[in-house]
């Protein structure tokens, strides 16, 4: 392999397509959902892992709530209000899960619904 082919190969690797914001959101929520589901399946044996997954999921929802509260966010007001409500619900429900009074199923359902919406809306963006 000569220098020219090595340079061409190096530069072609950096020309990978850039992720869209929607794709980045999807991947972030999918990762949090996967971690939460995996932690919930083994919650009795590994409670700290569940607590950590709930914490990361809550951080995600806090970021989403902060984003929709921003005046510059151009989502419809109704959608912003629903996202903000889901953030608050997720925090309250996570506390109930940690207290042993609830399970993670509603949190997984919410995240999955958001993922479905992002996936179905991807052809529009």
Looking at the domain assignment, is residue 16 inside a domain? Answer: no
92 within a domain of the structure (yes/no) = yes
Total domains in the fold of the chain: 1
pLDDT of residue 124: 44
Residue 97 covered by a domain: yes
- 8 belongs to a structural domain: no
Contact assessment for residue 58 and residue 90, using Cβ atoms and an 8 Å cutoff = yes
Identify whether 104 is part of a domain: yes
Provide the domain limits for residue 65: 23-124
Nearest to 114 by CA among 83, 88, 68, 73: 83
Structure tokens at 65: 């709530």
Residue 55 covered by a domain: yes
Structure confidence at residue 3 (pLDDT): 57
Q: Tell me if 93 sits within 8 A of 107, measured CB to CB.
A: yes
Measured CA angle at 90 (ends 49, 19), to 5 deg: 80
pLDDT along the chain (125 residues), means of 10: 58 60 92 97 92 97 96 94 97 97 97 93 53
Q: Indicate the DSSP class of residue 74.
A: -
User: What's the confidence (pLDDT) of residue 7?
Assistant: 54
Helix 77-98 vs helix 47-69: crossing angle, to nearest 10: 160
What is the predicted pLDDT for the residue at 121? Answer: 74
Q: Indicate if the alpha-carbon torsion angle 45, 27, 90, 114 is positive or negative.
A: negative
Give the phi and the psi of residue 28 in degrees, each rounded to 5.
-65, -45
Tell whether 2 is covered by a domain.
no
**Residue 29 lies inside a defined structural domain of this protein:** yes
Q: What is the reported pTM?
A: 0.80
Question: Which residues have C-beta within 8 Å of that of residue 34, sequence separation ≥ 6?
Answer: none
């Amino acid at each position: 392999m000569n220098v020219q082919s090595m340079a061409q190969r190096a530069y072609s690797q950096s020309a990978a397509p850039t992720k869209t914001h929607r794709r980045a959101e999807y991947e972030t929520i999918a990762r949090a959902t996967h971690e939460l589901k995996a932690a919930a399946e083994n919650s009795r044996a590994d409670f700290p892992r569940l607590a950590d997954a709930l914490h990361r999921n809550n951080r995600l929802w806090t970021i989403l709530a902060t984003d929709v509260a921003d005046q510059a966010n151009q989502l419809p007001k109704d959608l912003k209000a629903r996202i903000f409500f889901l953030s608050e619900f997720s925090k309250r429900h996570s506390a109930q899960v940690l207290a042993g009074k609830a399970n993670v199923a509603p949190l997984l359902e919410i995240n999955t619904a958001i993922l479905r919406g992002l996936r179905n809306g991807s052809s529009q963006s």
